[in-house]
Amino acid sequence: MPYKKCEACGELNGVRAKACKKCSAVLTKKEKSAKIASSMHIEKNATGTWVYDHKKGMPDIEYPEPIGTTTLSNSEIKENIEYHGLGYCIFYYISSKKIQDAELAEKWKKAKEAILAVQDYLYGDV
């Protein structure tokens, strides 16, 4: 059974006790923030900002910035794929119109069509 130890007399009290049953000293709460902070895994993401994983293992959701009016080089596309994933980039994030390389832009269109075909095949008209 969990307990709190009285700092004044050493008596063991229940975790919900606010005062010691032996000497009536006020029992202090344990600090949770230090334990949580020490269990966080901190790293830099691709944009250079700091993110952390929660103790349950789920990272914070960071939505990507809009691409804007510029076109992307192959190296910029590779960086986006490494960070966001290929399927997300093809289907939601990078339009084939934003790709500088004409051959890659054509493959990008075909890949999007292939993803739609797979979804259609597996799920039908949703």
pLDDT tens per residue across span 21-68: 999 998 877 655 444 444 444 454 455 554 554 555 555 666 677 777
The confidence band for 123, taking pLDDT boundaries of 50, 70 and 90, is: confident
> Cα-Cα-Cα-Cα dihedral of 78, 80, 84, 86, to 10°?
-40
* Model confidence, pTM: 0.47
Task: List the alpha helices (DSSP H) in 9-101.
Answer: 33-39, 74-84, 86-88
**Cβ atoms < 10 Å from Cβ of 74:** 12
What are 10's two structure tokens? 């050493």
CB 13 within 8 A of CB 4: yes
Element housing 4 (H / E): strand 3-5
Q: Kindly report, residue by residue over 96-108, the tens digit of the pLDDT.
A: 999 999 999 999 9
CA 99 to chain centre: 27
Beta bridge partners, 50, equal 44
